[in-house]
Amino acid sequence: MESAEVARRYLRFFERNGHTIVPSASLIAEDPTLLLVNAGMVPFKPYFLAQRTPPAVRMTSCQKCVRTPDIEEVGKTTRHGTFFQMLGNFSIGDYFKEQAIPFAWELLTGAEADGGFGFPEDRLWVTVLRGDAESADLWHKVVGVPRERIQERGLADNYWNMGVPGPGGPCSEIYYDRGPEYGREGGPEADEDRYLEVWNLVFMQYQLSTVRSKVDFDVAGELPAKNIDTGMGLERMAAILQGVDNIYETDTMWRILDRAADLTKSRYGKNPVDDVSLRVVADHVRSGMMMVADGIMPSNEGRGYVLRRILRRAVRKVRLLGLQEGGAMHELTSVAIAAMGEQYPELIRTAANIHTVIDAEEESFLRTLRTGESIFDVAAHESRSSGRNTVGGADAFKLHDTYGFPIELTLEMASEQGLVVDEDGFRRLMQEQRDRAKADAREKKTGNADVSVLGDLLELAGGKVDFLGYSQFTGEGRAVGLMINGANVVEAGPGSDVEVVLDRTPFYAEGGGQLADHGVLRFSGGAEVEVRDVQAPLKGLIVHKGKVRSGVARTDDTVLAEIDLSRRKAISRSHTATHMVHKGFRNALGESAAQAGSENSPGRFRFDFTASGAVPASVLRDVEDEINAVLIDDLEVRALITSQKEAIAMGAMALFGEKYGDEVRVIEVGDYSRELCGGTHVGSSGQLGLVKLMGEASIGAGVRRIEALVGIDAFRFLAKESVLVNQLADQVKARREELPERIGSIVTKLREAEKDLERLRAEQILAASADLAKHAKDVNGVAYVAHTAPGGTGADDLRKLAIDIRDRLQGRPAVVVIVGVPKDKPVVVVATNEESRGLGQKAGRLVGVAAKVLGGGGGGKDDLAQGGGQDAEKIIEALNVVEHAVATA
């Protein structure tokens, strides 16, 4: 039975039993406490907590999930994987144990011909939480499972929570006995390799306030209702139904693994080391594809870092299997898309975008992989040579910071060579780097508010704050909640930084690339709050962030909300322009030019899109011309609400990686552009006035960024540019159209003059080398030259001078020390010849002696080394110390 059929049977069974089929949510979790969706119940958490009204009290889904805590174990065993699909049925206060347990048994044991999975009843075992007699009785008395196949287990096995505060409860698990060839008799308690868990029924009835571990948590009380949350791993179920030993041999995963073996000319099952690599590649390619499809881009932060780590680990494993050139990820991704496309048609629809991102990450990593591996090998060799088995934290940090090696990859490489990494040293350097960096702007998205506090406010707002801003710029609402430093308060006095939740508002919360509205909230009690930011930390919740300018803001006050109209209009112009730029680039570059991010600000915007390389200047000009021609036509901008299916049929663009509900909002710019969007826009294209593309650049593997100006900002830029061009034309005595050629000629002459000056300066410096060599000082039988070069002499010239003097002293031992101060900091170069090295005079050691005096460090080879420092006042002392070191060697 294919994986897609397993999912179909599950969903159809529960649909026949009154459940609404809910599409999989994005892997990007709405829950701010989670990086990625890691369990099938995550999208249902607000319903269990009664923070939102569910679309139905009975639901079923096949949810995409990613878990990465055990990523290093992926491939080493056949049980671990990063991406998986969780089939589940959910009851929100409707049915409980007495119905969930029979449902599970009926589907598992029902005949395949009748839509069941056909499991033999005598091969199934169940477990319940120790002391849960009610569940045990249901299994035995209602379903008919013999007592000897019902086992009681502790919290570690039969209690479920998310690992963070939230809903939880006891669970009952169903196991399939694979037979004596897989292990010992005795049920799940005896051997979980033989008795394989296939389904977990969670009786979600408690609210957990603190979760310290799986077995150590605090129960705050009961949930508003008793709920059911079940989870059946699709991959594990497919393995059983397909008669294979593990998830890597199932239909979707095996196709990727088998193709990886073909590409690398390896054979699965022949070499245990290669088997691990093949499993890693199969899992990570599939996981990476699904993450990219949900709009996650490789980066060095958050979920983007998880993706980068997964993709780069796969690239390296392909290389370890013997395939040195690039292109493997493209081929393997194609296989993965074909394997999963039946279940997720959007993979096929966005295949070009997925390839662009993954291909670029592979290409980027391969450029640095060889260099990074060489650096690691040197560090490993030095560790062994010094009798240590530890790779330094500084080396690991350099690999991460300079070459993009995730620390986990460095740890893996070290483990392969029997070494460990100084992780504490690495973490310290990483923290120092973060401390130097600017605070992450994303911190403002959720502030310090507890998620449960936000959920309470959403409930007070009726489950959703009404957004009035599409048609109104002012509006009255009721203050349903106030927060200061993340805590609920009933009032906020003058000067307080406060967060305000209204039941209805015209303020647009930052989202979809559009910046938030600014404005004023006028409370009926006389208070005024200046709004400086608006966020939507939970779906349906709009939080106004600002400062109380006067009076005392109180909950339950009536509030007149007024947005800054000029700012809103300017942002709306930018947002509409972004849609048009998106369409323009799709027309010019094809469907692979998919939006990968944007920011719509007053008068300017940036537009990120997937592309395999730089966009030619001619394409930028053509797109700009096309957009401004549409502005002249003054096309009507319309917003309409329709179904997602109808919108796609109309040709509306759905943003790459975005997920939409059944009902969507479509923005049309005449017949030119049609796109799904929840933002605000102008009434007609002519209101934009002018769009000026400022240029494009790379912001990451496979992603380019356009910066642009709109309206009066674009006009002002062009006006300034015109004045500048006129001034240049006057300066060089040329017509405007002659400027590029004339300025190019001037720049060429300047560069030639600079080269001539550099050559003359170098000749003057080297002219002194003969005299310096002639007057070399004898120090314990070594010809010793110490010289301070003129100020401004660069490091390259210092090296050339040291080498030239050394070469003039051939035939006798010689040490040359040259010091300069090129950029207000001293640089020292030491050169030695073969005769002096035979006497123990090594440049690397001597330059270290000098650099230490100068307050710095340095190093190099035995014949030539360079160092530097901070204190130019100690140059003479440094030269004396080196002379002493030469004399006493």
Summarize the annotated binding site for Zn(2+) as residue ranges: 575, 579, 677, 681
Residue 832 CB burial class (10 angstroms; 0-12, 13-18, ≥19):
buried
**Is the C-alpha dihedral spanning 373, 377, 380, 386 positive or negative?**
negative
Residue indicated by tokens 């094809």:
590
Query: Tokens standing for 370?
Result: 């060889």
User: Contact 848/857 with Cβ under 8 angstroms?
Assistant: yes
Amino acid at residue number 735: R
* Residue 190 CB contacts under 8 Å (≥ 6 apart), including other chains: 183, 184
Alpha helices in 481-595 (DSSP H): 565-589
User: Contact 79/246 with Cβ under 8 angstroms?
Assistant: yes
User: Contact 123/177 with Cβ under 8 angstroms?
Assistant: yes
Cα-atom radius of gyration of the chain, to the nearest Å? 34
Q: Which of 411, 395, 342, 405 is nearest to 370 (CA)?
A: 405
Q: Please give the Cα distance from 319 to 166 (Å, whole number).
A: 43
Which CA distances in Å does 584 have to 222, 233, 403?
Answer: 55, 43, 35
Alpha helices in 734-840 (DSSP H): 739-767, 769-774, 795-808, 834-837
* Crossing angle for the helix pair 251-264 and 328-340, to the nearest 10 degrees: 160
In this structure, how many other beta carbons lie within 10 angstroms of the beta carbon of residue 831?
28
The string of DSSP letters for 159-199 reads EEE-SSSEEEEEEEEEEEE--GGGS-SS-TTT-TTTEEEEE
Alpha helices in 294-392 (DSSP H): 302-320, 328-340, 345-349, 351-385
Amino acid at residue number 573: R
Residue 8's H or E segment, with its range, is: helix 3-16
The string of DSSP letters for 351-374 reads HHHHHHHHHHHHHHHHHHHHHHHH
Binding annotation: 575, 579, 677, 681
Phi first, then psi, for residue 601 (nearest 5°) are -115, 170
Alpha helices in 562-666 (DSSP H): 565-589, 617-632, 644-649
